[in-house]
C-alpha cells in the first residue's frame, strides 16, 4: 500500500502526499471540497476517510485539476460526491480511454503486485459540473475559486481559497524540479500566462502537483524559467539548429530518474515553437 502523509496546512486545509501524488482538501462551514483524487481508488478511500475524520464534515465536491492518472484515477472513491472540472477535462478523459485500457494491461504485466489496485480504476467517471473559465463554490461567507487556465494540459485548472491565502496549483508547478511539458495538449504560452496571473493573487501557501509546499517565490522561479526556455528555443529554431543545441536557462538540477522529463520537455518546446514559426 502506498504510504501517505497527511498534514493540516492551515485551519481549513489539509494536504496528502506520497511518492506518487499530492491531493488535498478545503473545509468550509458545512462541507468539504477535495482537490484531486489520488492515483488509485484505494488511496482515494484513505484520503476520503482522513478528510472526514479531520474536518468532521461531509465531502460535497471533488475537484480534479487535470486528467492525468495520478490526479484522476481515485475518483471511484468519491462516486457519491459532485465531481467538478473544466469542460476540457471531459474531452481529454474521453480521448484517452482506449489507450488507457492498453496502458493498464501493460502496467499489470510490469507491476503484477499492483494488479488488484489497477483493476479498481474506473475511467468511465466524468464531471457532473464543468466550467469554461471558472466557477465559485460558496458556503456562507467562504468561497473557493476554481479557475481553468490550460498550460500543463489543455484542461489544467487550480483551486484558490482566499480566506486562508492557499492555492492548490496542480501540475502547473512541479516544485523544486523540472516541469513535465510532454503532454500532447500542453501549451507553453498558456502555462506562462497562467503563472503570471497567479503572481497577482494574494497567496501565501501553494500546494503543487508534485514536490514540497512552496510560496509565490517558486511561481516566479518557474515563470522566469519557462519564459527564458521559450526565448532560447525560438533562437535555436531561428538559427535552424537542433533541439540538442538549446542552452538551458539556470534551473534546478535534474535527478537521474527524471532525465526523461527534461528530454521530453525540451523536445516539446522545440516542436511547439517550431510549428508556430512554420
For residues 239-264, average pLDDT: 87
Q: Concatenate the DSSP letters of all residues of 89-105 into one string.
A: HHHHHHHHHHHHHHHHH
Spatial contact of 43 and 74, defined as CB atoms under 8 Å apart:
yes
Helical (H) or strand (E) element with 171: strand 166-174
Helical (H) or strand (E) element with 139: strand 134-139
CA separation for the pair 72, 264 (Å, rounded)? 22
Spatial contact of 47 and 77, defined as CB atoms under 8 Å apart:
yes
N- to C-terminal Cα distance for the chain?
Answer: 49
- Hey, what's the cell of 38? 489520488
147: closest CA among 184, 188, 194?
194
CA separation for the pair 226, 251 (Å, rounded)? 10
CA separation for the pair 96, 30 (Å, rounded)? 36
Sheet of strand 5-10: strand arrangement: 5-10, 13-17, 22-27, 32-35, 59-63, 82-86, 129-131
Spatial contact of 26 and 35, defined as CB atoms under 8 Å apart:
yes
Q: Which long-range contacts (CB under 8 A, 24 or more apart) does 99-107 make?
A: 100/69
pLDDT classification of 127: cutoffs 50, 70, 90: very high
With a threshold of 0.85, does the pTM exceed it? yes
94-123: pLDDT as tens digits = 999 999 999 999 999 999 999 999 999 999
Domains of the chain by start residue, with CATH? 5-215 (3.60.15.10)
168-224: pLDDT as tens digits = 999 999 999 999 999 999 999 999 999 999 999 999 999 999 999 999 999 999 999
Q: Which of 21-35, 98-112, 214-228, 240-254 has the lowest mean pLDDT?
A: 240-254
Enter the DSSP assignment of 136. Answer: E
Other CB atoms within a 10 A radius of the CB of residue 208 amount to 23
Between β-strands 142-148 and 157-161, what pairing exists: parallel, antiparallel or unpaired?
antiparallel
Other CB atoms within a 10 A radius of the CB of residue 68 amount to 23
144-174: pLDDT as tens digits = 999 999 999 999 999 999 999 999 999 999 9
Cell numbers 514536490 label which residue? 211
Q: Under DSSP, is residue 170 helix (H, G, I), strand (E, B) or coil?
A: strand
Amino acid at each position: 500500500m502506498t504510504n501517505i502523509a497527511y498534514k493540516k496546512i492551515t485551519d481549513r486545509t489539509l494536504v496528502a502526499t506520497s511518492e506518487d501524488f499530492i491531493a488535498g482538501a478545503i473545509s468550509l462551514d458545512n462541507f468539504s471540497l477535495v482537490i484531486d483524487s489520488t492515483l488509485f481508488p484505494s488511496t482515494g478511500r484513505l484520503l476520503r476517510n482522513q478528510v472526514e475524520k479531520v474536518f468532521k464534515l461531509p465531502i460535497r465536491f471533488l475537484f480534479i485539476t487535470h486528467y492525468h492518472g495520478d490526479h484522476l484515477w481515485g475518483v471511484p472513491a468519491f462516486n457519491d460526491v459532485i465531481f467538478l472540472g473544466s469542460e476540457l477535462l471531459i474531452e481529454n478523459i474521453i480521448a484517452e480511454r482506449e489507450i488507457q485500457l492498453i496502458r493498464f494491461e501493460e502496467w499489470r504485466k510490469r507491476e503484477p503486485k499492483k494488479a488488484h489496485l489497477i483493476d479498481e480504476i474506473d475511467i468511465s467517471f466524468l464531471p457532473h459540473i464543468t466550467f469554461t473559465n471558472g466557477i465559485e463554490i460558496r458556503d456562507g461567507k467562504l468561497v473557493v475559486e476554481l479557475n481553468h487556465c490550460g498550460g500543463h494540459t489543455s484542461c489544467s485548472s487550480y483551486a484558490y481559497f482566499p480566506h486562508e491565502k492557499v492555492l492548490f496549483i496542480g501540475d502547473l508547478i512541479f516544485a523544486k524540479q523540472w516541469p513535465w511539458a510532454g503532454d500532447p495538449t500542453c501549451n507553453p504560452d498558456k502555462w506562462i500566462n497562467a503563472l503570471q496571473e497567479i503572481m497577482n493573487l494574494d497567496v501565501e501557501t501553494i500546494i503543487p502537483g508534485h514536490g514540497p509546499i512552496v510560496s509565490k517565490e517558486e511561481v516566479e522561479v518557474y515563470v522566469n524559467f519557462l519564459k527564458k526556455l521559450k526565448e532560447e528555443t525560438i533562437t535555436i529554431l531561428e538559427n535552424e539548429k537542433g533541439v540538442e543545441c538549446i542552452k538551458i536557462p539556470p534551473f534546478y538540477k535534474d535527478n537521474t530518474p527524471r532525465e526523461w522529463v527534461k528530454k521530453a520537455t525540451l523536445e516539446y518546446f522545440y516542436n511547439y515553437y517550431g510549428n508556430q514559426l512554420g
